[in-house]
Amino acid sequence: MVGEIPQPPPREGHPIRECREYKVIFIGAGLLGIHFAARIQQYGLGIRPVVYERNPDVGGTWYNNTYPGVACDVPSHGYTLSWAPWAGWSRFQAPGADCQKYAEFAASKTNIRDITRFNTRVLSAAWDEAAAEWVVELEDVVTGDKFTDRAPVLINGSGLLSQPSTPRLKGMESFKGRQLHSATWNKVPTSELKGLRVALVGAGSSSLQILPEIQREAAHVDQYIRSETWVVTPFGADARAAHWGLDLMKALTLDDPEYANPYYTDEHKATFRADPEAVHKHRKAILNTTNKMFTDGLTEIVSPSREQAEALYVQMTKDKLAKKPELLDLFLPKWSIGCRRLTPAVGYFQAVTSDNVDVVRTSVVEVTPTGLVGADGKTREYDAIIWATGFDTTFYPSFSVTGRNGTPLYPEEARAYLTAHAEDMPNYFTVAGPGLMSFNGDFLGGLERILDHILKFVFKLQRERYQSVCVHTDAVVDFTAYLDEYLKRTVHTQGCSSWYKNGSKDGKVRAIWCGTSLHLFDALLEPCWEEFDWTRYPNERQGLHRFDWIGNGRTVSEVSGGDHSFYVPLVDAENIVVPTATAATPLKELYNF
């Protein structure tokens, strides 16, 4: 009857924000999957997580990449999850084996292996509108058996750089020698290249790391480089100089490993294990330096800081290429540093100027039984070919994704709202989607915050009893336009060939956030719920049932025997201090998840 006062639900019902059982599928057991497992353990009461990983164990990119010289291209103590510092790093810029060990260490602090089905590949994912669930088709990579799983929520944490980009050239199957790809190296020792003529195709970070290793073994190496690139020493020179007592200018410019990539001694590691404040101080020194570069405008067109850094790199490059000055225009591009990702490499310039290394400045158009044909029309003979051609950077996953009304993922272009939310994809989230901060500061820290942001949606769905959530299409369109407008002030839009633009010179930049990584952290603090459609279950769309989530008048803490006065802080009544907010620490408490 209209005007009748509804009766409150009985006490036997559920408490407000009840953590009902709620299934979530997560794809990938790299560092993002490990962070997901940790957060679910901390905050995900009632969440039933299932992780699918195509590899036999955790680690993701570090499990897959075992090419010679593979290393993290940022300082190792700056490449850790916020809650998991590690004293085991061997060098300032860690080798890939260290990164895999770190993943195993962080995994050991969570239940990731208990909730993961390994050796399982995702084939497709489709939204079932009637059931309001994602239907995920999977394959056991060992047996070939295919099966299906379902869940209301699907999170893609497989990472952007996870699908090897292998050239499709005429004659590739005809080559009689050894062919290797940097992303599928499978631990082949460099000794197998001893005395051979080798073609190394590519000029990205993997190629720059591979060359110094194979140059020592091969009879001769031709490195195929079609586009100019800047090569720099590892980041974090200030932190390196301070920690090891080095001369700062030498730390900035020298390739000598003592300055560019020093080892952590057993004493350093023992100190880090025994003294949490010591490792915390070192981590902050690295990340302060890293983040401040971008605060100071390293990637902006009008920036004295960038111009100063560029002048330093110009002189450094001239000094290191004195033996082969004909390479200067290749490693001193006309576009600014930061247009494409800077490639910090130790020992590369020594290798590329060695007598048994030549740079071939052309692309490859064909493979013959005994070598390669370049775009310059010349055929060159080789015993082995190494394809250091990187990864697919289109933001489209290796599996098909079909959302609402049969809409494919990113139907117009690879675009998303706040990198995580794609149009017409209810309850689907991507950790490393379009607009991520791949060159804005703390990369892993940014991915961690994106995942934390996603989990706020998951917990709202679970605890406030919504059926689905989907970003408004106009929010995606408008945010993409805002992103494009911001990027006009940056060097990323200059005429370099960059994976930020999917390998093109003049395409749209889709792998850069509209600000620094710290700016991203702030943007993700509190979701703008109004940019989303929230769908209730059919029996909760109207009347009294609209507020079923409010429950039976009790809280989860109350019915579970928790603290009934949790909101009362411990205060020294004789020393009450009301802190004053400062511009340097805005919203500080909100940085905690």
DSSP states of 411-455: SSSS--BTTTB-TT-TTEEETT-TT--TTSS-HHHHHHHHHHHHH
Residue partners of 6: CB distance under 8 A and separation at least 6: 543, 544
Q: How confident is the model at residue 512 (pLDDT cuts 50, 70, 90)?
A: very high
Q: Is the pLDDT of residue 561 over 90?
A: no
261 in the Ramachandran plot: left (φ > 0), alpha (ψ -120 to 50) or beta?
A: beta
- How deeply is 362 buried, as exposed, middle or buried, from its count of CB atoms within 10 A (0-12, 13-18, 19+)? middle
- For 137-146, 155-164, 500-509, 530-539, which range has the lowest pLDDT when averaged over its residues? 155-164
pLDDT value, residue 31: 97
| Burial profile 559-586: b = 16 or more Cβ within 10 angstroms, e = fewer | eeeeeeeeeeeeeeeeeeeeeeeeeeee
Looking at residue 244, its pLDDT comes to 96
Residue 441, pLDDT above cutoff 80: yes
72 contacts 93 by C-beta, under 8 angstroms? yes
pTM to 2 decimals?
0.94
User: How many residues appear in the chain?
Assistant: 593
What's the whole-number mean pLDDT along residues 409-418? 94
The residue to which tokens 């070192």 are assigned: 282
Q: Report the chain's C-alpha Rg in angstroms.
A: 26
Q: Distance (Å, rounded) from C-alpha 259 to C-alpha 11?
A: 68
Residue 5: the pLDDT is 44
Position 6 confidence tier, pLDDT thresholds 50, 70, 90: very low
The separation between CA 451 and the C-alpha centre of its own chain, rounded to angstroms, equals 11
Instruction: Return the higher-pLDDT residue of 592 and 167.
Output: 167
Tens-digit pLDDT profile for residues 347-391: 999 999 999 999 999 999 999 999 999 999 999 999 999 999 877
Amino acid at 394: T
Residue 590: per-residue pLDDT: 55
The candidate with the shortest Cα–Cα distance to 472, out of 413, 408, 526, 404, is: 404
- Percentage of the residues of the chain whose pLDDT score is greater than 90: 76
Which token pair is 221?
A: 């190496």
Half-sphere exposure (CA, 13 Å, Cβ side) for 459?
17
> Over 90: is that where the pLDDT of 423 sits?
yes
In the prediction, which pLDDT does 585 show? 62
Do the strands 47-52 and 197-201 form a parallel or antiparallel pair, or are they unpaired?
A: unpaired
Q: What is the bridge-based pairing of β-strands 133-140 and 120-128?
A: antiparallel
In the chain, what are the domains? Answer: 22-58+112-163+393-533 (3.50.50.60), 172-387 (3.50.50.60)
Which pLDDT does position 161 carry in this prediction? Answer: 63
Angle between helices 276-295 and 266-274 (to 10 degrees): 100
> Is residue 107 scored above 50 in pLDDT?
yes
Q: What local confidence, expressed as pLDDT, does residue 583 receive? A: 72
Confidence of residue 1 (pLDDT cuts 50, 70, 90): very low
* Residue 257 in this model has a pLDDT that exceeds 90: no
- Spatial neighbors of 289 by CB under 8 A, at least 6 apart, are 235, 236, 237, 238, 239
Q: Is the dihedral of CA 558, 562, 565, 568 positive or negative?
A: negative
Alpha-carbon span 369 to 350, nearest angstrom:
31
Q: How confident is the model at residue 490 (pLDDT cuts 50, 70, 90)?
A: very high
Average pLDDT, the chain: 92
Gap between the Cα atoms of 97 and 78, Å rounded: 16
Judge residue 329's burial from the number of C-beta atoms within 10 Å of its C-beta, 0-12 exposed, 13-18 middle, 19 or more buried: exposed
Distance CA 133, CA 110 (A): 27
Cα maximum dimension of the chain: 92
What is the dihedral sign for C-alpha 324, 329, 333, 337? positive
Strands in 153-156's sheet, in edge-to-edge order, are 116-117, 47-52, 22-27, 153-156, 428-430
Decide if pLDDT at 138 tops 90. yes
* Mean pLDDT along residues 242-271: 92
The 10 Å CB-count burial string (b at 16+, else e) for 26-49 is bbbbbbbbbbbbbbbbeebbebeb
Task: Please state, in angstroms and rounded to a whole number, the distance separating the CA atoms of residues 372 and 374.
Answer: 6
Q: SS in 3 state form for 105-145?
A: HHHHCCCCCCCEECCEEEEEEEEECCCCEEEEEEEECCCCC
Beta strand segments in 473-570, E: 532-536
Q: Quote the pLDDT of residue 87.
A: 97
Q: How confident is the model at residue 497 (pLDDT cuts 50, 70, 90)?
A: confident
**What digits encode the pLDDT tens for the residues 291-315?**
999 999 999 999 999 999 999 999 9
pLDDT given at position 3: 45
* C-beta separation of 76 from 283 below 8 A: no
Strands 379-381 and 371-374: antiparallel
pLDDT at 2 over 70: no
CA distance to 53, 501, 578, per residue, from 575 (Å): 53, 57, 10
- 3-class secondary structure, 34: helix
